[in-house]
Amino acid sequence: MEGKILNIELDDNASAVDSGNTASSINDFDHFDNPNNLHSLLEQEAVTKHDVEELNGIIRIRDREIGELKGKLSELEIKASVFGDKESLYKDKILYMEELIASLKLSSDSPTKELNPQSKMKLDELTLKISGLQDDLKGKLTERDEMIKALRKRISELNTKINELDKKKKLKNIYITTPYGATKQLMYVPGFPPFRPTLEHGIAGPGWVVIQRRINGLTNFQTNLVSYRNGFGDPKGELWLGLVKLHAITSYQRHELYVHIVDYDHNTHYARYDNFVVGNEKENYELKSLGTYVGDASDAMRLSEKKPFTVPTSKFKSGWWWYDNIIPTCNPNGIYSKKKVDDQENIFWGLNKWGKKGNYIRSIQMLIKPKVNTSK
């Protein structure tokens, strides 16, 4: 759509009422504007029937025009400028008919020797029929105006939707910014409400969003799936971003995952994956992909790939992408300990690949950011 507002186009032949039809329709009433012509016509047999048939023909023309308008409206091919022209045209026709009826009434009320009682009765009858046809035409015009009003509303709604779709089209990447007049940054993900992220710029460079952090044990990670789905914790302390957000972010744009670990000897270790993807709720938030691994902490998350997120299990009370009947190789959401504990219920990473007698973790953080120059 390229940002354009909806523009309904109508070709020269599409208008239901053109200038030629207008002239023809008005001329249908010309023989009534001269009383002498009318009186002469009334002296003939079946003149009244003839004139009524002509008026019925005019109404049929209007019915056909309205039918054509309905077709054009349903196809949304009428320009807004045509509406005003048609409204003006129909108002002119109504005014013309009102003047015509007034003229006929004046002719019937004025004393004249040319009209006998039978002709006078026919003239009154014709005047009533013309008045009825006028009311019918007004009703049809009112109906048409309502359709035009509804169409304009529909066009406005479509324009709004087009603008929204165009904005989403322009939003090719997830981004973080501070809205005008605000003091806090928000993260924008297409199809997801903006939210305030926890950012990390010092560990692996700028631009990382914290999705998990364990630093002091003040947040309970032995919770239920609802909490893991929605996210929990303290943005300034320990936290879990939430599976719903993780799916929205990683399924829309390719992201890499950075795991930062500090052990009790104050040594740092890292594991970096270049294509971190979390599935949706129907997929049980499966860890669909990790991508290529680099780092010195070991590729401890690999066994979790293609596994659903579960909590609790028969062995573990914290949530993770657990696997059955296999000794786990990491437990970032395990119990936090302020001292070295060699227990799989506690936070650990890897199987004795580093550290003394076990992987005793003082802190761990999981960070994500868009993969540079790579789109899904």
Question: In the prediction, which pLDDT does 278 show?
Answer: 98
Residues 87 and 23 in one domain: yes
- The predicted model scores a pTM of 0.56
Q: What is the 3-state secondary structure (H, E, C) of the chain?
A: CCCCCCCCCCCCCCCCCCHHHHHHHHHCCHHHCCHHHHHHHHCCCCHHHHHHHHHHHHHHHHHHHHHHHHHHHHHCCCCHHHHHHHHHHHHHHHHHHHHHHHHHHHHHHCCCCCCCHHHHHHHHHHHHHHHHHHHHHHHHHHHHHHHHHHHHHHHHHHHHHHHHHHHHHHCCCCEEECCCCCCCCEEEECCEEEECCCEECCCCCCCEEEEEEECCCCCCCCCCHHHHHHCEECCCCCEECCHHHHHHHHHHCCEEEEEEEEECCCCEEEEEECCCEECCHHHCCCEEECCCEEECCCCCCHHHCCCCCECCCCCCCCCECCCCCCCCCECCCCECCCCCCCCCCECCECCCCCCCCCCCEEEEEEEEEECCCCCC
Q: Specify whether 191 is located in the same domain as 160.
A: no
Residue 375 domain-assigned? Answer: no
Task: Identify the pLDDT of residue 331.
Answer: 93
Task: Identify the domain containing residue 352 by its residue range.
Answer: 177-370
Would you say residue 183 lies in a domain?
yes
Residue 277: inside a domain: yes
User: Measured between alpha carbons, how far is 334 from 166 in angstroms, rounded to an integer?
Assistant: 44
Closest CA to 263 of 154, 341, 320, 211: 341
CB 145 within 8 A of CB 70: no
- 197 and 245 share one domain: yes
Q: What is the pLDDT of residues 11-56, one digit of tens each?
A: 333 333 343 443 333 344 344 344 444 444 444 433 345 555 655 6
Residue 9 lies in a domain: no
Q: Which residues of 298-328 are buried (b: 16+ CB within 10 A; e: fewer)?
A: bbbbebbbebebbbeeeebbbbbbbbeeeeb
Look at residue 22 in the predicted model and tell me its pLDDT: 37
Residue stretches of the chain with pLDDT short of 70: 1-91, 93-94, 97-98, 100-115, 119, 162-172, 351-359, 373-376
Say whether both 124 and 63 belong to one domain. Answer: yes
Residue 107 confidence (pLDDT): 58
pLDDT of residue 321: 97
- CATH label of the domain that carries residue 364: 3.90.215.10
Number of folded domains that form the chain: 2
Of the three residues 123, 147, 170, the one that is the final residue of a domain is: 170
360 and 256 fall within a common domain: yes
How high does pLDDT run on average in the chain?
Answer: 76
pLDDT at 101: 62
**Residue position matching structure tokens 């501070």:** 178
pLDDT digits (tens, 9 = 90+) for 71-81: 655 565 555 55
Spatial contact of 295 and 269, defined as CB atoms under 8 Å apart: yes
